[in-house]
A and B are shown apart, each in its own frame.
Chain A
Amino acid sequence: MSERVAIEVRDLRIETRAGAAIVEGVDLAVERGSILGLVGESGSGKSTLALGLLGYCQAGLRIARGAVHVDGTDLLALTDAQVRSHRGRDIAYVPQDPQTALSPAQRIGEQIHRILRRHAPERDTPETVALVLQRVGLPADRDFVRRFPHQLSGGQQQRVAIAMAIACEPAVVVFDEPTTGLDVVTQARILDEIRRLSGESDVAMIYVSHDLAVVAEIADRVAVMYGGRFLEEGATADVLQRPLHPYTAGLIDAIPDHRRFAMPRGVPGVAVAVGERPAGCIFEARCALRVPNCAVEEPSLDVVLPGRAVRCFEWERTPPLARPERVEPALAGDAEPLLRIEALSAGYSAGGSTRLVLRDIDLTVARGRSVALVGESGSGKTTLARCIIGLHPPASGAIRLGGEDLAPRARQRSLDARRRIQLVFQNPYDSLNPRQPVGRQTAWPARRLRGLSSTDADGETLRLLDLLRLPARVAQRYPHELSGGERQRVAIARALAAAPDVLVCDEITSALDVSVQAAVLELLAELRSALGLSMLFISHDLGVVAAVADDVLVLDRGEICEAGPARDVLTAPSAEYTRQLVEAAPALEGSDGGGAS
Chain B
Amino acid sequence: MSRARRAWRAFPPPARVGLVGLVAIVLVAILGPLFAPYPPATSVGPPFAPPSAEFLLGTDNIGQDVLSRVLSGGASVLILAGLATLLAYAIGIPLGLFAGYNRGLAGGIVMRGVDVLLAIPALLLLLVLATGAGAGATILVVGIALVHVPQITRIVRAATLQTTGRAFIEAAEARGDSTARILGVEILPNISGPLLADVGVRFTGSVLLVAAVNFLGLGVQPPAVDWALMISENRSGISIQPWAVVAPAALLAALAVAVNSVADGIARIYGRSSASGEEAPA
A residues adjacent to B (C-beta < 8 A): 41-43, 270-271, 273, 386, 389-391, 410-411, 413, 415, 418, 423, 425-427, 429-436, 441, 444-445, 448-449, 479-485, 494, 498, 511-513, 516
Contact = CB atoms under 8 A, between A and B. Distances in A.
Contact of B190 (A435, A445, A449, A498): A435
A43 to B, nearest CB: 4
A433 B191 CA distance: 12
Contacts of B173: 391, 410-411
B2 interface: no
B174 A42 contact: no
Contact of B171 (A270, A431, A512): A431
B168 to A, nearest CB: 5
A37 to B, nearest CB: 20
Given A425-B170, A513-B282, 13 more contacts: A389-B174, A391-B173, A410-B176, A411-B176, A425-B171, A430-B166, A432-B168, A435-B189, A444-B175, A448-B175, A480-B280, A484-B282, A516-B282
Contacts of B176: 410-411, 413, 415, 418, 448
B273 A480 contact: yes
B168 A390 contact: no
B281 A271 contact: yes
Contacts of A415: 176
B198 interface: no
Interface of B: 166-168, 170-171, 173-177, 185-186, 189-190, 192, 273-274, 276-282
Given A436-B189, A484-B282, A485-B282, A390 B174 contact: yes
23 contacts: A43-B281, A270-B281, A271-B282, A386-B170, A389-B174, A413-B176, A418-B176, A425-B167, A425-B171, A430-B168, A432-B168, A434-B274, A434-B277, A435-B190, A435-B192, A445-B175, A480-B273, A483-B281, A484-B280, A484-B282, A485-B282, A511-B282, A516-B282
B278 to A, nearest CB: 7
A484 B281 contact: yes
A483 B281 CA distance: 5
Given A483-B282, A512-B282, A433 B190 contact: yes
A419 to B, nearest CB: 9
- Most A CB contacts (10 A, CB to CB) among B168, B170, B186, B189 go to B168
B3 to A, nearest CB: 14
A427 B170 contact: no
A423 B174 contact: yes
Contact of B177 (A43, A413, A426, A448): A448
A431 B273 CA distance: 17
A42 B167 contact: no
Instruction: Sort A-B residue pairs by CB-CB distance and give the 4 closest, nearest first.
Output: A484-B282, A480-B277, A435-B189, A431-B167
Contacts of A516: 282
B139 to A, nearest CB: 37
B178 to A, nearest CB: 9
Contacts, number: 85
Contacts of B186: 433
Contacts of A483: 280-282
A270 B168 CA distance: 25
Contacts of B189: 433, 435-436
Contacts of B168: 430-433, 441
- Most A CB contacts (10 A, CB to CB) among B166, B176, B186 go to B176
A43 B189 CA distance: 29
Contacts of B281: 42-43, 270-271, 273, 483-484
A338 B277 CA distance: 38
A418 B174 contact: yes
A480 B175 contact: no
Nearest to A498: B175
Nearest to A412: B176
A413 B190 CA distance: 28
A423 B171 contact: yes
B171 A494 contact: yes
B278 A429 contact: yes
A418 B174 CA distance: 7
B165 to A, nearest CB: 9
A391 B185 CA distance: 19
Contacts of B190: 433-435
Nearest to B275: A480
B280 A482 contact: yes
Contacts of A429: 277-278
A394 to B, nearest CB: 15
Nearest to B168: A433
A411 B190 CA distance: 23
Contacts of B273: 480
A271 B175 CA distance: 34
A516 B280 CA distance: 14
Nearest to A425: B167
Nearest to B189: A435
Contacts of A273: 281
Contacts of A430: 166-168
Contacts of B192: 435
Contacts of B174: 389-391, 410, 418, 423
B19 to A, nearest CB: 24
B164 to A, nearest CB: 12
Contacts of B274: 434, 480
A386 to B, nearest CB: 8
Contacts of B280: 480-484
A482 to B, nearest CB: 6
A175 B129 CA distance: 65
A274 to B, nearest CB: 9
Contacts of A389: 174
